[in-house]
Structure 1
Amino acid sequence: MTDSTRELDLVVYGATGFVGKLLADYLARHAPEGVRIALAGRSAAKLESVRSSLGPKASEWPLVVANSDDSDSIAALARSTRVVATTVGPYAKYGHGLAAACAEAGTDYVDLTGEVLFVRDSIDANHERARETGARIVHSCGFDSIPSDLGVHVLHEAVQADGAGELTDTTLVVTSMRGGVSGGTIDSMRTQVDVSKKDPSLRRLAASPYSLSPDRSAEPDLGKQSDMSVVKGEDIAPGVQGWKAPFVMASYNTRIVRRSNALRDWAYGRKFKYREVMNVGTSPVTPVVAGAVAAGLGAMLVGMALAPTRFVLDRILPAPGEGPSEESQRKGHFTMDLYTTTTTGARYTSRVKAKGDPGYSATAVMLGESALGLVLGGDALPDTAGVLTPATALGDVLVNRLRAAGFEISAQKQ
Structure 2
Amino acid sequence: MSPRERDLDVVVFGATGFVGRLVADYLAEHAPASLRIGLGGRSLERLEAVRRTLGERARDWPLIVADGADDDALAELAGRTRVVATTVGPYLRYGLPLAKACAAAGTHYADLTGEVLFVRASIDAVDESARASGARIVHACGFDSIPSDLGVLLLHQAAAADGAGELTDTTLVAVMKGGFSGGTIDSMRAQVEAVQSEKSLRRIVVDPYALSPDRDDEPDLGDERDRVAVFESDLLGGWVGPFVMASFNTRIVRRSNALQGWAYGRSFRYRELAGYGRGTRARVTANAVTGVLGGVLAGMQKPRMRGLVDRLLPSPGEGPSAEKRAAGFFRMRVRSTTTSGVDYVATVAAQGDPGYAATAVMLGESALALAEGSGLPEAAGVLTPATGIGDALVQRLRVAGLTLSVEREGE
Q: TM-score, normalised by structure 2?
A: 0.97
Counterpart pick for 1:397 among 383, 392, 408 = 392
2:2 matches 1:6: no
Question: Which residue pairs with 1:118 in the alignment?
Answer: 118
Q: Do the aligned residues in 1 keep the contact of 2:114 with 2:140 (CA within 8 Å)?
A: yes
Query: What is the DSSP-based 3-state SS (H/G/I as helix, E as strand, rest coil) of the residue aligned with 2:12?
Result: strand
Structure 1 residue 69: deviation in Å? 2.0
Structure 1 residue 231: deviation in Å? 4.0
Structure 1 residue 180: deviation in Å? 1.5
Q: Do the aligned residues in 2 keep the contact of 1:165 with 1:343 (CA within 8 Å)?
A: yes
Q: Do the aligned residues in 2 keep the contact of 1:3 with 1:9 (CA within 8 Å)?
A: no
Structure 1 residue 291: deviation in Å? 4.1
Question: Which residue pairs with 1:412 in the alignment?
Answer: 407
Question: Which residue pairs with 2:354 in the alignment?
Answer: 358
Provide the rounded CA distance (Å) in 1 between the counterparts of 2:241 and 2:211. 24
2:199 matches 1:204: no
Query: What is the DSSP-based 3-state SS (H/G/I as helix, E as strand, rest coil) of the residue aligned with 2:92?
Result: helix
Structure 1 residue 287: deviation in Å? 4.3
Question: Which residue pairs with 2:59 in the alignment?
Answer: 59
Provide the rounded CA distance (Å) in 2 between the counterparts of 1:277 and 1:232. 11
Counterpart amino acid of 1:80? R
Q: Do the aligned residues in 1 keep the contact of 2:348 with 2:404 (CA within 8 Å)?
A: yes
> Any idea what the Cα deviations from partners look like across 1:269-306, whole Å, max 9, x if unmatched?
00101111111221135445434443433332121011
Alpha-carbon RMSD: 1.3
Q: Higher mean Cα deviation, 279-288 or 308-317?
A: 279-288
Which structure 1 segments of 5+ residues have no match?
Answer: none
Question: Which residue pairs with 2:221 in the alignment?
Answer: 222
Query: What is the DSSP-based 3-state SS (H/G/I as helix, E as strand, rest coil) of the residue aligned with 2:11?
Result: strand
Provide the rounded CA distance (Å) in 2 between the counterparts of 1:386 and 1:171. 28
> Any idea what the Cα deviations from partners look like across 1:54-87, whole Å, max 9, x if unmatched?
0111111101001012111011001111000000
Counterpart amino acid of 1:60? D
Question: Which residue pairs with 1:367 in the alignment?
Answer: 363
Q: Do the aligned residues in 1 keep the contact of 2:110 with 2:367 (CA within 8 Å)?
A: yes
Question: Which residue pairs with 2:232 in the alignment?
Answer: 232
Structure 1 residue 198: deviation in Å? 1.4
> Any idea what the Cα deviations from partners look like across 1:321-376, whole Å, max 9, x if unmatched?
00000000111111101101110011000000111110001100000000000001
Pairwise mapping of residues 259-278 of structure 1 onto structure 2 (< 5 A)? 259-278=255-274
Q: Do the aligned residues in 2 keep the contact of 1:246 with 1:293 (CA within 8 Å)?
A: no
Q: TM-score, normalised by structure 1?
A: 0.96
Counterpart amino acid of 2:270? Y
Structure 1 residue 226: deviation in Å? 2.3
Query: What is the DSSP-based 3-state SS (H/G/I as helix, E as strand, rest coil) of the residue aligned with 1:359?
Result: helix
Provide the rounded CA distance (Å) in 2 between the counterparts of 1:241 and 1:17. 38
Provide the rounded CA distance (Å) in 2 between the counterparts of 1:241 and 1:185. 28
Provide the rounded CA distance (Å) in 1 between the counterparts of 2:212 and 2:20. 29
Pairwise mapping of residues 279-294 of structure 1 onto structure 2 (< 5 A)? 279-284=275-280, 286-287=282-283, 289-294=285-290
Question: Which residue pairs with 1:145 in the alignment?
Answer: 145
Provide the rounded CA distance (Å) in 2 between the counterparts of 1:377 and 1:108. 10
Q: Do the aligned residues in 2 keep the contact of 1:115 with 1:252 (CA within 8 Å)?
A: yes
Pairwise mapping of residues 15-414 of structure 1 onto structure 2 (< 5 A)? 15-174=15-174, 176-227=175-226, 228-234=228-234, 237=235, 240-284=236-280, 286-287=282-283, 289-378=285-374, 380-414=375-409
Counterpart amino acid of 1:398? L
> Any idea what the Cα deviations from partners look like across 1:120-157, whole Å, max 9, x if unmatched?
00000011110000000000100000000000011111
Provide the rounded CA distance (Å) in 1 between the counterparts of 2:285 and 2:179. 20
Query: What is the DSSP-based 3-state SS (H/G/I as helix, E as strand, rest coil) of the residue aligned with 1:277?
Result: strand
Distance 1:163 1:318, change over 3 A: same
